[in-house]
Amino acid sequence: MRYLGIDYGTKRVGLALSDEAGVMGFPHAVLPNDARLLEDVAALIERERVAGIVMGESRNFSGEENPVAKEARTFAEALTERTGIAVILEPEMLTTQEARRDFEGIRTHGVVDSSAAALILTSYLSRHGQH
């Protein structure tokens, strides 16, 4: 079963895909957060035959939703409505910082955003995936 991981941001959205067995996530792409985002992600889901969607759940250090969380939740609901696949929310505390550390010295947001999506997806799969 293939999964899609999403690191939702107000400017860019990082995407990761799992292997066919649904064991590990790998960076895939970064899309601009624009009017085409929903359709572009839905097309990827169809093209890659994604059966599960995992999106980072944004919260601050106190466990409360951060400013991007409401927008992300709205996108998740629209994606579920468009694809018929429920979006699973996975805590994402510090995944972007962790991904940034992996690429220290590289000045490309795309690598960081898609790597953060892969970390979110792999975190979920390691606890709930098919082992």
The domains found in the chain, sorted by start residue, are 2-128 (3.30.420.140)
Position with higher pLDDT, 122 vs 39: 39
DSSP track, 6-74: EEE-SSEEEEEEE-TTSS-EEEEEEEESSTTHHHHHHHHHHHTTEEEEEEEE-B-TTSSB-TTHHHHHH
9-32 confidence digits (pLDDT tens) = 999 999 999 999 999 999 999 999
Q: pTM value?
A: 0.84
pLDDT given at position 45: 98
Neighbours of 7 (CB within 10 A): 29
Share of the chain above pLDDT 70, in %: 79
Q: Any idea which of 41-45, 68-72, 95-99, 116-120 has the lowest mean pLDDT?
A: 95-99
Q: What letters, b where the CB count within 10 A reaches 16 and e where it falls short, cover 82-101? A: ebebebebbebeebbeebbe
